[in-house]
Chain A
């Protein structure tokens, strides 16, 4: 018997899981319209590969991963692409997001499927295959799985933890998956283990799911794998990655580090099953198990195509009349959906149908009395009341000093708070404000850099221009100095040239112009009529008399061999 460890805090809410585990998983029927959002994982938004009016087959790539931190998106069924446009997203903001809207043709015809033998494929190719199969963490965080498949450079992966704890009330999708498809999960885990070269595999399942644990044990034995199924005490949030690692291995992952630094990697059971489906059957991630629970007549688990409107799935379970909202996720961490027809996405583990009778609105928030109950309940060893004060005062720097980003938003603190303070709302507010500030900061740093470079460039251009002009002037001077043969150079006063190179240049230019003028002979001087000849002589005579004064100033003009050509 393995000795288990405890994580700090945690709560024990009523699990409410029994109702949805009485019936097996059933495939939800094809909806009339599928809305597949392109952004379904953490990281870059995939770029659409299809256009309106195009036919797609089931499993065809419709959005290619944008960069390494991103994951591909596929058509959930065969049909016609009606539009590629922003549509309401399963996100608490109620904003739209670029989505591919597909009208199913009912044939549900698969595209050509590519399978892969993981034993004979290099790890890099395997990771790319997983990325292009659109596999993301199905526990709810939707972190691209291929990024977690690196063994890690510094420390080898010693332990692979498979997360089947499923601690949140109402949610039973992993429980049912383990009961019904244990063999697939074990095969998928074997693939992940092969990639990570892990020494041991621990499958953590809460002890309120004995059927799932038994099914997994049987599957491990049937597959002949050396994996250990460990039943862990039921306590929320034992299914948090850090908490589960703590319980199974005793390793407490410190602030700012990752579990891989300590040789532990953790995957959800649903993710392992998706990896198995992708490699062995060639099926990309286009459907998932979704629990429908809460205010419905027959709570149950369905296998739902990504993009199916939530209301279509809930209708199968018989939605009660007083329903007023859907939550995606459980009652502790779930997010309120902006509408009833938002699509099921890869992150949708549960659609919790809510009414005011089932989940009454919380009593009014009262002042914090500093009882410290939240700190006793916090599974991340934080001081929630301090974080609350700082978030409330918008003192974000201080909140970060108290490790706000180690908060997993599990909701234990708000659950135990006697003043009914919506603590997690404050933390979410703080986190998104800090992210926005960080974005602004990096943008302004970039702007500063670009502004400084622009100033530097303008200075440089100015200097380059000055240098170019100086070089040209120097060239002219050098040319003049090496051409003494030009008669004008002799005419220019040599003393001046020595004194002032500029004056010399001007004098030289004047002299050159004069020499040019002298070289030109007056045209049309032949065959002149007697009258014209007489006129010219008259003009010349006048010039000689009036020009005598100027002739003294410009001796060259008095030269009889250079008659003035200008009239």
Chain B
């Protein structure tokens, strides 16, 4: 009886020590799941999900506080990827958070702009250049199309324009089998 107890206790101590050591040695900084979710999110930082940016939303999803269908820019494909990653059920995009739109960029009407800098402060990715009482403009390559600059503009000179199709970003279409009438 006693030797068995001693052996069991000994094993418990050794294994406990090994586990304790491993917990310190192989400690993972941050939550790797948050990183994975954040990589799927489109990084528009638009806040349509109700969180101040993509990272906070990713954290909320990881904690189970948020649904996976709150991101309109990510669209259906984004929801499917999140569902695959998290093993949750696919849900259609929640309507209260917005609708999926084609990718757009903000364009400032430079004739109307009064140079108030409000849009510059609103832009989450610093894609607007300009200074007080100077004309502002959007660097279209950096614009994520989040629309956060549209509301603060006091003269309504910012419009969202869908990105046109060019030879560079043109995509081959999915082959469609034509059904022909047999006479």
Chain A positions within 8 Å of B, measured between CB atoms, are: 39, 89, 91-93, 95, 97, 364-365, 422, 425-426, 428-429, 431-433, 435-436, 439-440, 443-448, 450-454
| Chain B residues whose CB sits within 8 angstroms of the CB of A435 once the complex forms | 171
Q: Does B65 contact A (CB under 8 A)?
A: no
Task: Kindly report which residue of chain A lies nearest to residue B121, judged by CB atoms.
Answer: A458
Complex CA distance for A443 and B167, rounded to whole angstroms: 19
> For residue B178, which residue of chain A has the nearest CB?
A364
Are B125 and A447 within 8 A (Cβ)? yes
Residues on the B chain within 8 Å of A439, using CB: 169
Interface residues of B in 13-72 (CB under 8 A from A): 38, 41-45, 53-55
**B residues 155-172 with Cβ under 8 Å of A?**
165-167, 169-172
Least CB distance, A193 to chain B, in whole angstroms? 35
In the complex, which residues of chain A have a beta carbon less than 8 angstroms from the beta carbon of B131? Answer: none
Residues B177 and A364 in contact, CB atoms below 8 Å apart: yes
A45 nearest CB neighbor, chain B only: B168
B142 within 8 A of A: yes
Main secondary structure of the interface of B (DSSP, over half): loop
- B117 within 8 Å of A (CB atoms): no
A433 contacts B171, C-beta separation under 8 Å: yes
Contact B124 A454 (CB under 8 A): yes
With an 8 Å Cβ cutoff, the count of chain B residues facing the other chain is 29
Question: With A454-B125, A454-B126 in contact, do A448 and B170 touch (Cβ < 8 Å)?
Answer: no
B180 lies within 8 A of chain A by Cβ: yes
A526, B31: Cα distance in complex, Å: 83
- A429 to B173, Cβ gap below 8 A? yes
* Nearest CB of A to B100, in Å: 14
Q: Is B137's CB within 8 Å of the partner chain A?
A: no
Within 8 A of A (CB), among B96-141: 124-127
Residues of B within 8 A of A432 (CB): 170-172
Q: How far is the CB of B118 from chain A (nearest CB, A)?
A: 16
Q: Are the C-beta atoms of A444 and B175 separated by less than 8 Å?
A: no
Q: Is the CB of B170 within 8 A of A93?
A: yes
Q: Given the interface contacts A95-B166, A364-B180, A444-B42, does A451 sit within 8 Å of B171 by beta carbon?
A: no
A450-B125, A451-B124 known; A425 vs B175 contact (CB < 8 Å)? yes
B167 and A91 contact, CB distance less than 8 A:
yes
Known: A451-B45, A454-B124. A95 touches B165 (CB 8 A): yes
Most A-side CB within 10 Å, residue of B53, B127, B175, B177: B175
Give the shortest distance, in Å, between B71 (CB) and chain A (any CB). 12
A435 CA to B170 CA, complexed, in Å: 10
Tell me the minimal C-beta distance from B181 to chain A in angstroms: 12
* Chain A nearest Cβ from B179, distance in angstroms: 8
Q: Which residue on B lies nearest to A454, using beta carbons?
A: B126
Contact of B171 with A436 in the complex, beta carbons under 8 Å: yes
Interchain CA distance A406-B126 in the complex, whole Å: 39
Query: How far does the Cβ of B84 sit from chain A's closest Cβ, in whole Å?
Result: 11
Residue of A nearest to B38 (CB): A448
